[in-house]
Chain A
Amino acid sequence: KLAMSGVEEISDESVEVKEGEEFDVEAEDHLRDDFLLDPTRYIFYRDRKEWADLEPVPQDDGPNPVVKIAYSEKFSDVYDYFRALLKNDERSERAFALTSEAIELNAANYTVWHYRRVLLQALSKDLREEMRYITAIIEEQPKNYQVWHHRRMVVEWLNDPSEELEFIADILSQDAKNYHAWQHRQWVIQEYKLWDDELDFVENLLEEDVRNNSAWNQRHFVISHTSGFSDAMEREIQYCLYQIKKAPNNESAWNYLKGILQPLGLSAQPGLLERVLELKQTHCSPYLLAFLFDCYEDALENSKENVAEEEQQKTLKKALEICQLLAQEDTIRKEYWLFLGRSLKNKHGKLNNYTFELCVIHPELEII
């Protein structure tokens, strides 16, 4: 087992900052004098005797490189030696240690991560220690595909998810919408059947930020995989309306409500329309109006045989009024609202297209 005499630098300053300072010649000379006094000085791989057996492999940008690229010295040094190890497919402790340095310089480099996994297995490394390592890396760089995938591999190899929910919760406390974190969480929960406390977890997140779309998605994920929505429907509707009262302009809450009701049909839910109309008085929003439209549309689509023509046309009129209002208020999506009105009218109505457009442009005419 080779021991490295070059000690890893203890500072975690970014390499860019160091470029100007540590690596200019004068400083180097000065440091050489002080070497015996300061054993923590960083030593390039090219200067370490235990690496002298390897021929470093410089960056290859292709057969006819047009571009002469200037890398930072430390980066080139580490990666020159990384490439040398790869070339020889060396499976050793020093190779493993070097992957840590390469990762620190560029954690998105998927080839380094691959190699590290090969080494983890070839050298039968302590996977618990690897868990500590990957935990630290993810804390620093939580928005990187490679680090999360690596963590998943280690959890699978250990077959031990016991730290995962707490760890992911910690990452989410720094950014509650981290897409990678949520992926990993869903995988852990599904793979190891850790559903029990997840609904509580989601509710806590929604207490903190009711607009967290990831948390709403997770709510749907948990319920669809556990109780299902049939018994839970009334509770979920109440939950949505309660959250909407707290923050009316919340796309996520409205998308969720519509999403859970859609399979059965919005007009199939007794009393729902009335509750939404009541909410309209005090907590109106474009989303509420859009939802009302969806209710009316569903009613028209699924109306029973005995519903009078007059009733139908009344519902249609209410729906079209909503489109008119939204086309004026939510102008950025005007085309969408006009489309909705036109299609509904074409399907169920007696008004022609021209009349409808006129209503939108000249609402004061009160044509409908």
Chain B
Amino acid sequence: MGTQVKDVIIKPDAPSTLLLDKHADYIAAYGSKKDDYEYTLSEYLRMSGIYWGLTVMDLMGQLPRMNRQEIIDFIKACQHECGGISASIGHDPHLLYTLSAVQILCLYDSVDALDVDKVVEYIKGLQQEDGSFAGDKWGEIDTRFSFCAVATLALLGKMDTINVDKAVEFVLSCMNFDGGFGCRPGSESHAGQIYCCSGFLSLTGQLHQVNADLLGWWLCERQLPSGGLNGRPEKLPDVCYSWWVLASLKIIGRIHWIDKAKLRSFILACQDEETGGFADRPGDMVDPFHTLFGVAGLSLLGDEQIKPVNPVLCMPEDVLQRINLQPDLLS
């Protein structure tokens, strides 16, 4: 039953132990290293970049190495008059970066650095008649933004300010014939979108609407012979899918359908022993995005050297316990 499958081959000398100290050093130094072109180019997502870095440091118990006050001041400077928050200073506000900012402030227990009512107003204003959410005033619709909206509001304890029923209706209209979800109704099922929709349904108490066995099957089909996970059929594995797929499986109560040992060895193989950090697949260049999702994936798999991570919000569980937010999971 084997057949030519799109996959990677893990070399025998690929890393097989977890190099947490190296990853902490990598993140702590990120942005101050010589080759800053990549850092500059990613300014348009800086807020999310900071969220990835801080979250992975916290999961590794290394948050104190980051500059708390500088970051809080930066976030304050990124809140616009309309209430929305931008990726960086001088950029326009957007739901993606509004969520990242609130996640960061929750890590630091400093949500009061923002005008919370204004944030809520901004989010509310982005909900459309059909229940969907635009990412910003230019109107791009995507289930990612439905997730950003409810996740931000849940963290702020203000979910009741939007039309939740309509929002749910829209997300459910994006459920496909294979049990998965895409970005808009009719869009191809994709692991990233599935994570957003599963997370959304968890936060809105609607997980019973998911066909957990069907979706669970689709998700565990993402696992390739190398042990890695892809995002949709016939695509290469990528360590970030260790998060999108794995967290989705955890949310719908079917994480045991994945071969954990094989996935773990794939994730470990994506580390760079010299520089620290994780790449999308073994041998490629590392970045903070893949570093977070590699470490978070390992946490979901039960690695005890890493703090438990919440599968819905991708934040340390102890942070969510502090703010009393425990989204539903199926069993």
Asked if B177 and A260 make an inter-chain contact with CB atoms under 8 angstroms apart, the answer reads yes
Interchain CB contact under 8 A, A149 and B36: no
Residues from chain B with Cβ under 8 Å of A153 in the complex: 138
Given contacts A72-B37, A109-B44, A111-B90, contact A62 B74 (CB under 8 A): yes
Interface of A is mostly: helix
With known contacts A214-B188, A286-B1, A329-B1, A108–B44 Cβ distance under 8 A: yes
CB atoms of B138 and A114 under 8 A apart? yes
Please give me the residue from chain B that is nearest to A113 by CB atom: B138
Mark each residue of chain B from 26 to 64: 1 if its CB lies under 8 Å from any CB of chain A, else 0. 000001101011011101110000000000000000000
**Residues A66 and B91 in contact, CB atoms below 8 Å apart:** no
**With known contacts A62-B73, A111-B44, A259-B178, A182–B187 Cβ distance under 8 A:** yes
CB neighbours (8 Å) of A201 from chain B are none
Task: Please tell me which stretch of B124-132, B213-221, B282-290 contacts chain A, meaning at least 4 of its Cβ atoms lie within 8 angstroms of it.
Answer: B213-221
With A72-B37, A75-B40, A183-B184 as contacts: A110 and B91 at CB distance below 8 Å: yes
CB distance from B168 to the nearest CB of A (A): 21
Q: A16-B37, A62-B77, A69-B31 are in contact. Are A111 and B177 (CB under 8 A)?
A: no
Contacts of B302 in A (CB 8 A): none
Residue from A110, A251, A259 within 8 A of B94 (CB atoms): A110
A212 to B235, CA, bound (A): 10
Interface set, chain A 293-334, CB cutoff 8 A to B: 329-334
Q: Interface readout for B172-193 with A: 1 if CB under 8 Å, 0 if not?
A: 0000111000111011111000
**A100, CB-defined interface residue at 8 Å:** no
CB distance from B99 to the nearest CB of A (A): 15
Contacts of A336 in B (CB 8 A): 216-217, 220, 257
Complex interface: chain B residues within 8 A of A285 (CB): 1, 3
Q: How far is the CA of A62 from the CA of B92 in the complex (A)?
A: 16
In contact, B36 and A66 (Cβ under 8 angstroms): no
- The listed residue with most A CB atoms (<10 A of its CB), out of B32, B186, B217, B218, is B186
**Residue B327 interfacial (CB < 8 Å):** no
Contacts of B44 in A (CB 8 A): 106, 108-111
Interface residue B259 (Cβ < 8 Å from any Cβ of A) = yes
Q: Judge whether A217 is part of the interface by a CB distance below 8 angstroms.
A: yes
What are the nearest 9 A-B pairs in CB distance?
Answer: A259-B177, A62-B74, A217-B188, A249-B3, A213-B233, A109-B44, A111-B91, A336-B257, A332-B259
